[in-house]
Amino acid sequence: MKRSIKRDVPALTVGTFVLLACVVGCGGQSTSGAATAAPTGPSGPAVCATFYADEHLKGATLVSMGPTDNSATVPATFNDVMSSVAVTPGCTVTVYADGGYGGQEATFTQTADSVPASINDQMSSYKCACGGGSK
């Protein structure tokens, strides 16, 4: 699967994860104020969801590649830091407070500028699927 990353944003790729880190201007400006839809390919969208370290879709990001991406553990640098999530239309993401899909969970079918307090800064694993993909 081809991955596109902005040239001015450093990225760390771990398996199907793409972890983007802000160097300058974290929490920066958004020109539209809303997450843009992910590009789609013949088998579905290239991105299922993007997790953000801060509310309002700001801060460091972890990208869940679509159309199906399950992660029993998130990279250590993103463990217990999610505060908002952009979900690609037609996709569903379930996040879990513990690794191995355990503990408190929350399911998102649309973008959330702020996740519920019960899961804020708690995500340790997730399952993401788009369209007819298995969850």
Q: Above 60 in pLDDT, residue 105?
A: yes
**103 within 8 A of 131, measured Cβ to Cβ:** no
- Beta-carbon contacts of 102 under 8 Å, excluding residues fewer than 6 positions away, are 96, 125
Model pLDDT, residue 44:
66
Taking 80 as the threshold, does the pLDDT of residue 106 lie above it?
yes
pLDDT at 35: 44
User: Domains of the chain by range and CATH?
Assistant: 11-23+43-130 (2.60.20.10)
Predicted local confidence at residue 17, as pLDDT: 43
Question: Looking up tokens 């029993």, which residue turns up?
Answer: 72
Mean pLDDT over 57-73 rounds to 94
pLDDT in tens, 17-50: 444 443 333 333 333 334 444 444 556 678 999 9
Q: What is the pLDDT of residue 132?
A: 64
SS3 51: strand
